[in-house]
Amino acid sequence: MLQHAVDCANPAPLGFFAFSLTTALYMTSQAGLTEAATQCDFPLGICFGGLTMLIVAILEMFRRNTLGATVFGTFGAFWIAIEAVTVMPSDIKVAQAQGGGNCDCLSALFGVAAIGFMCVSVAYNLALPLVFLMIGIMFFLLSAGTTRPNIAKAAGWWGIFTSVLAFYIGMAILFEESWGREILPL
């Protein structure tokens, strides 16, 4: 049994960058700024959004950061699942689309998880609960936007702003870890 946290670099900035950049790319298509699928979406979603965040989650476990492990593990698995859907055979995708509800429900469930993370993160600083609130709203907008194009577009723009805040948090932690003092306030 591990008695003490492992002394290693803080993996959280990497996790925030993985979430931020992957979400920003995905949300540009939701906002109508890029095509719905590009050659970059799948590899970035699987490798950076999914696997990187899962690795960060494992490292957070070793550092005994339960919230970090849970958040990065949850969103890492989300990105892997979302990208797995893109490589499904077409007939399975058509059947899912005709059945309806699954994507709405998936987004709404991750919105609920984000709101739960927000409640826990209030103990840390102001930026974390804000980013989790924004993530929750983003997922609820995505859920509502599956049948309403204007809401999907709003979700895209909201997601881009959410990505900027997540990137800011990653930079703030990175600055503090590197410079030994707070440069960007959280």
Residues 115-125: tens digit of each pLDDT: 999 999 999 99
Share of the chain above pLDDT 90, in %: 65
Specify the number of domains making up the chain. 1
Domain for residue 60, yes or no?
Answer: yes
Q: Tens digit of pLDDT for each residue in 96-114?
A: 554 455 667 888 999 999 9
* Percentage of the chain exceeding pLDDT 70: 86
Structural domain harbouring 107: 12-179
State mean pLDDT over 21-49: 84
Q: What is the pLDDT of residue 37?
A: 64
Contact 159, 27 (CB under 8 A): yes
pLDDT given for residue 101 in this prediction: 53
Residue 45 domain flag: yes
Neighbouring C-beta atoms of residue 2, cutoff 10 Å = 8
Domain-located, residue 186: no
Can you give the pLDDT at residue 7?
77
Residue 170 in any domain: the answer is yes
Q: Average pLDDT over the chain, rounded to whole?
A: 88
Task: Please determine, for residue 74, whether its predicted confidence score (pLDDT) is greater than 70.
Answer: yes
Mean pLDDT of 8-27: 94
Tell me whether residue 172 is in a domain: yes
Residue by residue, DSSP assigns 141-185 as: HHHHHTS-HHHHHHHHHHHHHHHHHHHHHHHHHHHHHHHSS-SS-
CA distance 119 to 149: 30
**pLDDT level of residue 171 (50, 70, 90 thresholds):** very high
